[in-house]
Amino acid sequence: MKIMLLGAPGAGKGTVAKLLTALDGSIQISTGDILRAQVRAGSDLGKKAQEFMNAGDLVPDEVIMGMMEKRLQEPDCQKGFLLDGFPRTIPQAEQLKVLMEKINIDLDMVVNIDVPRDVILDRLCTRRTCNNGDCQEIYNVKSNPPKTEGICDKCGSPVIQRDDETEEAITHRLETFSEKTAPLIGYYEKEGKFINIPCTSSDDVVNAIKEKLSL
């Protein structure tokens, strides 16, 4: 499948993407995960991105587009992919459209995971993430804690709170979402293949997608 997942920070894009990868081997492409791996590696790209990310700002469009133009042409994308956190602005969406035409990719569906703000705030304050860049498993101290506190079930690395999970950065990320990313909903409604899923259960989101794709 080739699906784009839209939704506010904490809506569950990463959680749903991981569940969908298990269905048919499609890969998750999370711009947030790629950027955090670059920050950990201390690369030039990571150094450019870190300040924006920690403040809850978006990384500049040209940095993201350069990174994604390469990523979408890697061979593993041919199995199918779940875009998680990309695009985030109208200019990114417009450039993605041109890129997909150039490399001959067509999306099956654009999905907006629509979760109330109070649920989102609670989830972001209680999320924990595996610190291993190759794993980045997502946990939640309330709804999905690791079996051993602070240790990833999958790879045994420390499970941490992300640097952009301060109250100030979370508030700013939600404002940035309303201002810059929410307009993508109207953009993709006009483009077609858009579905809105107002749902707090990740399993229900996955089932709605399966039904639409007749999987």
> Catalytic residue positions?
13, 88, 127, 162, 173
In the chain, count H helices and then E strands: 9, 8
Q: Taking a C-beta distance cutoff of 8 angstroms, is the pair 37, 28 a contact?
A: no
Binding site for ligand AP5 (CB under 6 A): 7, 9-15, 30-32, 35, 52-53, 56-59, 64, 85-88, 92, 123, 127, 138-140, 143-144, 164, 173, 200-202
Exposure on the CB side of residue 54, measured as CA atoms within 13 A:
8
As a whole number of angstroms, the distance between CA 191 and CA 182 comes to 15
**Tokens 């469009």, residue located:** 61
Q: Taking a C-beta distance cutoff of 8 angstroms, is the pair 131, 140 a contact?
A: no
Can the peptide bond before residue 9 be classed as cis, meaning omega within 30 degrees of 0?
no
Name beta bridge partners: 139. 128
Q: Taking a C-beta distance cutoff of 8 angstroms, is the pair 20, 6 a contact?
A: no
